Amino acid sequence: MKDPIFDLIEGEKKRQSEGLELIPSENYVSAAVLEAMGSILTNKYSEGYPYFDGVGCGRANEDDFEEWGESRIAEEILPNYRYYGGQENIDRVERIAIDRACRLFNADHANVQPHSGAQANTAVYFAWLEPGDTVLGMSLPAGGHLTHGAPVTLSAHVYNFVGYGVAENGDLDYADIEQKALECDPKIILVGYSAFMKIPDFDRIAEIRKKAEEKFGHEILLMADMAHVAGLIAGGVHPNPLDHGFDVMTTTTHKTLRGPRGGIILSKGNVASPLKKPEKTLANIPILIDRAVFPGTQGGPLEHVIAAKAVAFGEDLQPEFKEYAANIVKNAQTLAEELKKYGFVLQGDGTENHLILADVKKSFGFDGKLYERALDMVGLTLNANAVASDKGGAFRPSGVRLGTPAITTRGLGVEEMKTLAGWMKQVADICKLVNSEEELAEHLDELNKIRDEVRELALKFPVPAI
């Protein structure tokens, strides 16, 4: 008997093909990434690391790379730090992933083993903090991520998180950050977010770190969680925090990077064997992070996913990826301007990256969850999301979050953004006529008409690998 799981996979293929994905944290991977992720590498246990005594665990020297490229990485057998034998192929795969990640982000070291962005953040906390230490990061209501101190998370029960907010113009509230940094004695200052539309001033944050270090007399780790914009950084349309004084950058490998679901940790500093017990200094943060990932917070790495990460990083290093990143921003800014013409109130009055946060409660009087459901019915997928100082609660927030990475991957451009904005206004007009999601059924004819138009456009832009 055929397993029903496979029918559901086919159903998801159909949903993705006939609809348009506007969730800013989602994207489509290539056939090559899918092939690597579905490979027999999933059969292999590889606890530990593919390097020993600092050999083969960082970026290749640029002069050497020009001379021998990745061939030496793929061919040379180096001593490793693994608990199982049979690693000759696995080691090479992981070392290629590390090298490509380092070159992509100008890092001294990359740990490619985290299973997710959340686990990457957890490992950095564990590497640098003691229980009760303070982390200064963006609060969840202001646009921060759950892992930046939301009370429901494990890390919030171990460490002391102090939240900062955003200014009226939607930018980071740098005065608030500086004031709190000089009051709360942070061990980490964290810049990262899941609903923020501006480009941070990393140099200003570095100056705040310097002032706090002078006051409190100890090193403070500068950490950037760039999960949403890592692809924009790789594509050269967003500044790289590692080039502006930051010690660590975490990111997921999907979203704008167009890789498999997973995480990586990029860092500046000394690179050496995780067997050594290093002094807790910023210079040693790469070694501390390796120990924090394994054995600190994870066991066996997912080498089939690491292979898929390596393939995606190879794609991201190609010249055409820069064009893709630029088009993401162009599409997002066009869509934002078109939505404003239709009366949508946008946090920050627009966007400087891939992401748009619309306050539909303020714009039209209904909540984000109703709007999310109505758009689902026409094949436009986004997510309800709180806006700054939201009173609606987690399940009835005032806004919706949308973005352009996935639709840009499919090839949609500026003209299609105008069409999308028009559909979103039509659905908003329907939502103004109802009081609940159940009442949307009274407008099925209108919604189905839009659904047919969405399907017709979507099928003109095939999903990669389907």
State the Cα–Cα distance between residues 17 and 407, nearest whole angstrom: 11
**Residues 6 or more apart whose Cβ sits within 8 Å of residue 167:** 173, 174
Phi, psi dihedral angles at 317 (to 5 degrees)? -80, -10
State the Cα–Cα distance between residues 367 and 170, nearest whole angstrom: 21
State the Cα–Cα distance between residues 142 and 139, nearest whole angstrom: 5
Orientation angle between helical segments 414-431 and 444-458, nearest 10 degrees: 170
State the Cα–Cα distance between residues 172 and 175, nearest whole angstrom: 9
Sign of CA pseudo-dihedral 434, 435, 436, 438: negative
- Gyration radius of the chain over CA positions: 23
**Residues 6 or more apart whose Cβ sits within 8 Å of residue 135:** 125, 129, 148, 149, 159, 160, 161, 162, 186, 187, 188, 189, 190
Tokens standing for residue 65: 């790379």
Task: Tally the C-alpha atoms within 13 A of residue 37's C-alpha that lie toward its C-beta.
Answer: 16
User: Which residues form the catalytic set?
Assistant: 45, 47, 225, 252, 255, 261
CB 205 within 8 A of CB 222: yes
Cβ burial 298-337 (10 Å sphere, 16+ → b, else e): beebbbbbbbbbbbbbbbbeeeebeebbebbbbbbbbbbe
Tokens standing for residue 418: 């105008």
Which residue type, as a one-letter code, is found at position 136? L
Tokens standing for residue 161: 């998180």
Q: Which residue has the tokens 């995606």?
A: 312
**Long-range pairs for 65-71: beta carbons < 8 A, 24 or more residues apart:** 65/103, 70/96, 70/99, 70/100
